[in-house]
Amino acid sequence: MSTDEWVNFLNWLVYGGGALLAIGLWRKQSKDSKQDKMQTNDAFQVLKAQYQDEQYKPYSDEAKRLFAAAAPYAQVPATWSTQRELHRLLEKESAGWVGIPNYTYGQGNAGKRFGSDISKPRNRDRWALVHNELKQGIVGARSTATGLGQLLLGNTKKYYPEQDRGIGDALNEAVGFLAYVKDRYRTPERALAFHDEKGWY
């Protein structure tokens, strides 16, 4: 091989070959990332199946276990799961009822469609009607809040691992509740202080 051919080969190797190598590494990383997401999703589905209760009473061991399972997905400390302030928020917002619609679903046109007492736990067999409406993007009441943390529809899309498809699912709602508190208030203490002052959070 002549000197010119060697120079051309080395240029190709450094510039062209380097680009090919970078593309190859990027494709591998992208493939690995997709596999990681699939494995994470599989793990989430397995975990989700373990939390199928209709209610996670504030301060109960069941609620603490749910929040401990949700904490890594919300990227908050596991110690949040036992914090009095978090459980007080849960108590105020939903009393731990999974999927509970906001009381405004019992008012106005929504009240005519669903009944004025739709948000009462005794009517939880009808909550899926509200959930299905929300999952279709239909805003049928003054507030679209539902679930453990009473997150609005837009916030379910932002904070639930399965977005609005997670409405009515305990683990999605727990993750969303924790993630919302972290994002908006940083700590359960601050979130509760705001709620105590304003009556909402």
pLDDT digits (tens, 9 = 90+) for 93-103: 999 999 999 99
Under a CB-based contact definition with an 8 Å cutoff, are residues 130 and 70 in contact?
no
Residues 77-134: pLDDT tens digits? 999 999 999 999 999 999 999 999 999 999 999 999 999 999 999 999 999 999 999 9
- Other C-beta atoms within 10 Å of 60: how many? 15
The tokens of 93 are what?
């917002």
pLDDT at 30: 52
**Can you give the residue ranges of every domain in the chain?**
1-49, 53-198
Name the DSSP letter for residue 100: P
55 phi/psi in degrees, rounded to 5: -140, 140
pLDDT mean over 134-148? 96
CA 45 to CA 36: how far, in whole Å?
Answer: 14
Quick one: which of 80, 82, 94, 73 has its CA closest to 168? 94
CA 14 to CA 24: how far, in whole Å?
Answer: 15
pLDDT at 41: 86
pLDDT at 147 over 80: yes
Close Cβ partners of 189 (under 8 Å, ≥ 6 residues apart) = 83, 85
Tell whether pTM > 0.85: no
Residues 14-51: pLDDT tens digits? 554 444 444 454 455 555 555 555 566 899 999 999 99
The tokens of 96 are what?
């731990």
